[in-house]
A and B are shown apart, each in its own frame.
Chain A
Amino acid sequence: MNKYSKIVLTAAILVLVATGLAAWSITDTYFGNKQGGYEARSFSMGAAGTFNDLRPFGIAANPANLTLLDQRLAFQGGALITRNEDNRHIPLYNSFDNYIDDAVYASNINFFDDYAIAGMGALQFGAFKMGLGIYRKPLLDFGGYYHEEIRNNRNTDNDGYPEKLAINKIENTGNLMQNAGVLSFGFDLLDCAQMNFGAELSLLQGKQEYSKTIRWSQWAIDTFADAVNNASKVLPNYEISSDTELDGMQLKAGTAIRFNKRFGLAATYTPKATLDRTGSIKEHREAYYNADAIDNTLTIDEDYILPAEIRLGILYQPQNIMRTWFNLDAEYVQWSQISSHYEDQFNLYAGVEHWVENRFPLRLGFQAQNGYLREVETDGSVIAKRILTPMLTAGSSFQLTSFLTIDLGFGYSWREYEAIDLFGDAYYNDRIYSGSSTYALWPNSHITLINRGWENPDKVRENNISLNTGITFTW
């Protein structure tokens, strides 16, 4: 194996270690987890890369970055692995009926992975430059996995495990893939000054699969059967699932202006995109006692709106004993275009790259992104709650050869918010299914099994640890 083969193999392994389970946050069921770019250098600088003249995947952040790049031909592949921890808390009350704090009742840790690739080519004709590029990346990831056990309270006084009554699961998969073509023009003005204008047309296609199930445990089924002693009375399992497809197009325009060797300014505008969301929702519940089975299918054919985004970014390259790049982006997202439930939001991205000893790049960054949790109430109304997700990032890179660079980015983000209990307690009231006045599954007859609403929402604490790797080939 020659030297280059080893290098390419090493690089490939680094990217492929990203293979893992597909799962993401259940918060993002409807809007998906939005990953702005798969450019690991920019990611480690807080994803501040509207002005990016170093990596091919910069064209996904701003089409005008294409002719800003110094390369004639370049490719970049990126992989993102995220570990998501989702802890759901129930409000705690003391004997004075005072809400005092929250206690975790379900904790899920899952991994997800996504991949993307970009390529570009550019030609210079004197002071004029023209370039074409393509990329493919997930714009939104809808993956999510949640597991929760329902247990009664028997045995807890003897340090034993209470019996498991049911297992609740949410399993979501799918993503919205973005296949984009990018065209950009650049003009050299003065020494170190240039203007670039770019445009992008994306085809957006994706699948959203959602599944929520309640399965009674064998212990619950057997205990219930023994207690009611009537074969026609059973504990009904429940399932609701949806399978939808998304289809549409999106445009983006951008400019990147380098004023001098120190300062660059960039801007992008992504108009509102309306995608077709088609598919169906199926609901199934088994029959019980005096209730028939439910088997509903609802067809979905609706607009899925991606709000318009305006993003401004600067690059500042001062003279510093550690060679330094500083990027700062501000983004305005017009959420109100979706409906009046939403308000427009600002997002902030900032990052710095220092070359320690002029050899080793140390990248640090920060971002504060606003998203929305969309809850559909039982009466069909929509509640949208803004959620802020701060993120700290760090990273570095190493150059394997003059044409091959590996970037590594690390991110830690968290969010805290209120949400409605995902599985209402009323479902586990076995008296409904037996018609009896006493519980078969709950030894504590005083328990009140009702659904918690916004008067007692869950407190959700999530944190994400992300690793972004990128490999760049340039000629």
Chain B
Amino acid sequence: MRKLLLLLLALFAIGWLAAKVDLNTAQYSELRQLGLSEKQARDILDYRDYVAHFASIYDLRQIPSIDQRTLLRLKDAVVVSFRQEIDDAEARRQEIRDLLERLDSNEGASEGMADVWEDYLMTPQNVNRMHFDDLVSLPNVSAVDAAAILTRLARGDTIADMRDLRNTVGLSHYGYTNLRSYVYYKEPPIKNRMFYDAQMQFYTRYFEEGAHDMFHEPFLRSNYGNAGIVIPHDKRLSYWGRFNLDQVDPDLIYKLRIRYGNHLKLGFMNHTGKAETGLTDKTARQIINDSKWYAGYENEKLPWLGNTRMKLYLGHYRATYGEGLVMENTDFYSARKTGFGFSKRILGITPDLSRTQEYALRGGAVELSHPKFGASFWASDDYKDAIVYVDENGDPKLQDGKKKLFSYVVPTIRFDNDEMQLAEAAFNTEIQSGTTYAMPYLNLAYRKDAFREKLWGTHLQYNPFVGTRLGFTTYTALYDDAHFMVPDYYGLQSLLVRDSYYYPKFKMMDAEIAGLYSTHVDGKYSRDYRRVIGFDAGTVIGNTAIQGEYAELSVDGSDFKLGDDPSALLISANTQFENLYLIALYRDYDIDFDNPYSNAFSEHERFDDTILEKNVYALTNPILSDIYLGSTQAQPEKGIYFETRYKFNNYFTVGRSYLDIFQRKTDGRRTARFQSELEFRPLFQLGLRLRYKNQVNRIEDFADRGVSKTNEYTASIRTFLSNRDFLEFEYRYNTVLSPPYTSLTNPGQPGENTMAAAMTLMTGDYIGVNYTHNFNENLKLQGSFIYWFSHGISHWDWEDMEIDFMGDKGSKAWIALHSRISQNMYLNLKFRNKTYQTQEYSIRKYNEPVEGENYFPRVERKENTIRISLDYRF
């Protein structure tokens, strides 16, 4: 009887519920039967379709046409069923969206790597099967963390879940919190399926100061004081005027990636930069040549060897090993790239859709890795841009029937060759019109796809114990149709400097340029290749990891003998505790170690402070400055670097702090650079931060630039508001003590000093405010306003996705809007206005009086920059 009553009660309840209308499934007619008006019924359906399914009946109040009275009336007549219309991929994307945003915002600094990390965030790897290199390639996962996990697994243990991972002995808190999003334990969060990522970016930009000056540099006849020679005022006698670089012209990027799980991968990317030929004006072949693409296959479970993985790529790929001394192919330089924290390298072969063109590898690559060993082989065949020797007609000069090259180059603009030759002919006509220069025509010029590079390489690795590895890497670049030929230091002077009057500008530092590699040296050797060989090794002892790499560029020594060729060495160690880490790093790079495919730790890029940076006007062709501006290699330097971070407690943290003491190899200049920051958080929502930076450069000889001392003091207040809003105020004060620039002497005219000025103290300051406002989870607004004043000092500012350098005096405001249009579609829109004054002053005759007005104290520049990107992932 009791059962019967319960059954009746249940049936009644079902009937009672069944009589109610489910807001998440109701049809229009059902809603109308509830007494709702036509508009109210439509609004409810629209809300369900275009806003969200109802989580509760109180969501009805989100609809403007439903008032409180209607809600109360409906309350007893409707129910809400649970409903979620997102698939597992969307759910996963939702879960990792903060990390995806962070990767996107760091894309500028880690060109191309964000794609790889994003893939592993979406489709994680099984932590129980990962290898050492896989783990250390993830952001903020150290070798000690990797060894801790692998040691545990080697003992036969299995990591079952996130909590279990956390309990791994030796795994740091930071390592764990970063690793957990990139791995799974038993079952992957998403089954294998197709993933698509389409991206479009439109970006109008202005050239940074170095490129701006390089393109403005004119080609003018010389008058040598002969008043009879009239020098024309013709804007077109510079690259700037010739190519109308005043015009707003966007950078465009189109990118498409398709993959099936982590197994099959396809990708295509085209980047057309400012002033470059657009897609519509190119042939299909040119589009393919100027684009990046790949097809890849990865297998984590090869059948014939336990836990062996394979990667196979055709098209464009990246190859990175050790500390980047032998092989890390990128067009982008990054200072102080330690390989720790977020300053990472992704080891091995990875697909490449970055904007890297010059050092891109195009061909095939295969990688096999096992916990005990690893081997990879790669081959590439591609045409590369170069600075080439040209004759008066702009035709390439030859050596033994091959094109004579000066250097690889990453150009600011990839001009077409026919455009360049026409421009050079016009420039040559002008410079030959007056008194003859020492070099009366453009003898070196930029040429797109100037030579064919066939490159092959290999990396072999043996891992005797967990965390210990020994590696060997080598590559050979074959040049069938070209010879690199760089004269010695004394020969360089007449090659690079247009006018013998400027020969004194050629300094000791310029030996760095003479260090460029030659494949042909008269009377010494002649070959058609460049070969680099290196060894890397690393081990983990307790909570300390030690690693290093040694590389040699084969010049005139034996390939099999160490120490007889230019070399580079880097050794580093890091120790980690729960709230503290320490990094020590030693590097020593020879001047002649010219490996364009290296991208190792350094303070400066190669050719910094050389004539290619400092005295562009003296060059036979100012576009040679691109060799410096696009340099990716480390400057030849020798020194030791220490870095630490220590969290005392919840209130005080010493943020990333470092001390770098190094000597520049070329001229012996010694530098000590120190930076430290202290953060005090009296409340979780409030952070007070102080940062101090000091740099001292010293050369103890009679060189013109003896000592310079830079101090930078920064104070900031950061408030972490509700809804993840963020407000920050920052003030910075700088001083630079250095020998005087002529513009700072009195009066501001070269050679007219009325008082002796031994040193000049420059001061500058900067004030800024940053704000982030989240309207909701789908709409975020970021903005910043900065005002700065400096006196010859350069300020820097880290914007949302890029770093910006600012000189003299001005203000800048930018606003960025991040809109998530749907679960899969993202729209980012950024606008920046930068208005500043710059001091235009070109010194040509140092310490000699120059007639006439030559001082334009203030020229205002106004820049409007916009970037829009649309990303569709599904």
Shortest beta-carbon distance, A344 to chain B, in Å? 7
Query: How many residues of A sit at the interface, in one of the four size bands?
Result: 35 or more
Shortest beta-carbon distance, B818 to chain A, in Å? 11
- Which listed residue, B216, B825, B831, B864, touches A326 by the CB 8 Å rule? B825
Question: Binary interface profile of A, 280-319, with partner B (CB < 8 Å = 1, else 0)?
Answer: 0000000000000000000000000000000000001111
Shortest beta-carbon distance, B869 to chain A, in Å? 11
**CA A328 – CA B200 in complex, angstroms?**
12
Shortest beta-carbon distance, B622 to chain A, in Å? 11
B850 and A418 contacting across the interface, CB-CB below 8 Å: no
**CA A364 – CA B64 in complex, angstroms?**
23
**CA A364 – CA B50 in complex, angstroms?**
19
Do A320 and B821 form a contact, CB below 8 Å, given A96-B854, A99-B238, A454-B236?
Answer: yes
Most chain-A CB neighbours within 10 Å: which of B240, B817, B841? B817
Question: Binary interface profile of B, 47-66, with partner A (CB < 8 Å = 1, else 0)?
Answer: 10111100000000011100
Most chain-B CB neighbours within 10 Å: which of A261, A368, A387? A368
B821 and A324 contacting across the interface, CB-CB below 8 Å: yes
Q: Which residue of A lies closest to B776 (CB)?
A: A321
Shortest beta-carbon distance, A194 to chain B, in Å? 16
Is residue B217 contacting chain A, with contact meaning CB distance below 8 A? yes
**CA A455 – CA B242 in complex, angstroms?**
9
Most chain-B CB neighbours within 10 Å: which of A100, A346, A463? A100
Is residue B186 contacting chain A, with contact meaning CB distance below 8 A? no
B840 and A92 contacting across the interface, CB-CB below 8 Å: yes
Question: Binary interface profile of B, 831-874, with partner A (CB < 8 Å = 1, else 0)?
Answer: 10000001011101000001111101001011010101010000
Do A358 and B64 form a contact, CB below 8 Å, given A97-B218, A319-B822, A324-B821?
Answer: yes
Which A residues touch B218, using CB under 8 A?
A: 97-99
Q: Which residue of A lies closest to B249 (CB)?
A: A388
Query: How many residues of B sit at the interface, in one of the four size bands?
Result: 35 or more
Q: Which residue of A lies closest to B236 (CB)?
A: A455
Q: Quick check: which of B227-235, B492-500, B523-531 contacts chain A, the rest being far away?
A: B227-235
Is residue A95 contacting chain B, with contact meaning CB distance below 8 A? yes
Shortest beta-carbon distance, B675 to chain A, in Å? 34
Which A residues touch B776, using CB under 8 A?
A: 321-322, 356
B864 and A98 contacting across the interface, CB-CB below 8 Å: no
Is residue B508 contacting chain A, with contact meaning CB distance below 8 A? no
Is residue B158 contacting chain A, with contact meaning CB distance below 8 A? no
Is residue A16 contacting chain B, with contact meaning CB distance below 8 A? no
Is residue A323 contacting chain B, with contact meaning CB distance below 8 A? yes
**CA A366 – CA B377 in complex, angstroms?**
46
Which A residues touch B864, using CB under 8 A?
A: 390, 414, 463
**CA A389 – CA B250 in complex, angstroms?**
10
Which A residues touch B825, using CB under 8 A?
A: 316, 318, 326
B840 and A418 contacting across the interface, CB-CB below 8 Å: no
A322 and B829 contacting across the interface, CB-CB below 8 Å: no
From 179 to 206 in chain A, residues with beta carbon under 8 angstroms from any chain B beta carbon are: none
**CA A324 – CA B49 in complex, angstroms?**
11
Which B residues touch A271, using CB under 8 A?
A: none
B822 and A320 contacting across the interface, CB-CB below 8 Å: yes
Do A98 and B853 form a contact, CB below 8 Å, given A319-B822, A320-B778, A416-B246?
Answer: no
Is residue A93 contacting chain B, with contact meaning CB distance below 8 A? yes
Which B residues touch A257, using CB under 8 A?
A: none
Shortest beta-carbon distance, B807 to chain A, in Å? 14
List the count of A-B residue pairs having beta carbons below 8 Å apart.
179
- Which listed residue, A97, A354, A454, touches B233 by the CB 8 Å rule? A97
A418 and B247 contacting across the interface, CB-CB below 8 Å: yes
B840 and A320 contacting across the interface, CB-CB below 8 Å: no
Which A residues touch B220, using CB under 8 A?
A: 97-98
- Which listed residue, B49, B247, B827, touches A417 by the CB 8 Å rule? B247
From 401 to 416 in chain A, residues with beta carbon under 8 angstroms from any chain B beta carbon are: 414-416
Do A319 and B234 form a contact, CB below 8 Å, given A95-B853, A358-B62, A387-B247?
Answer: no
Is residue A348 contacting chain B, with contact meaning CB distance below 8 A? yes
**CA A120 – CA B817 in complex, angstroms?**
36
A98 and B817 contacting across the interface, CB-CB below 8 Å: no
Which B residues touch A358, using CB under 8 A?
A: 47, 51, 62-64
Do A344 and B280 form a contact, CB below 8 Å, given A319-B51, A417-B247?
Answer: yes
Do A92 and B247 form a contact, CB below 8 Å, given A455-B234, A456-B233?
Answer: no
Which A residues touch B63, using CB under 8 A?
A: 358
A416 and B850 contacting across the interface, CB-CB below 8 Å: no
Which B residues touch A359, using CB under 8 A?
A: 64
Which B residues touch A136, using CB under 8 A?
A: none
Known: A319-B50, A415-B248, A455-B235. 7 other contacts (CB 8 A): A99-B216, A317-B50, A366-B866, A366-B868, A392-B829, A392-B831, A459-B246
State the 10 A-B residue pairs at the shortest beta-carbon distance, nearest first: A318-B822, A95-B854, A455-B234, A95-B852, A97-B231, A101-B859, A100-B840, A96-B844, A326-B821, A388-B248
15 contacts between A and B (CB under 8 A): A93-B233, A94-B842, A95-B853, A102-B859, A318-B821, A319-B49, A321-B776, A321-B778, A323-B47, A326-B822, A350-B868, A354-B778, A356-B779, A390-B248, A456-B234
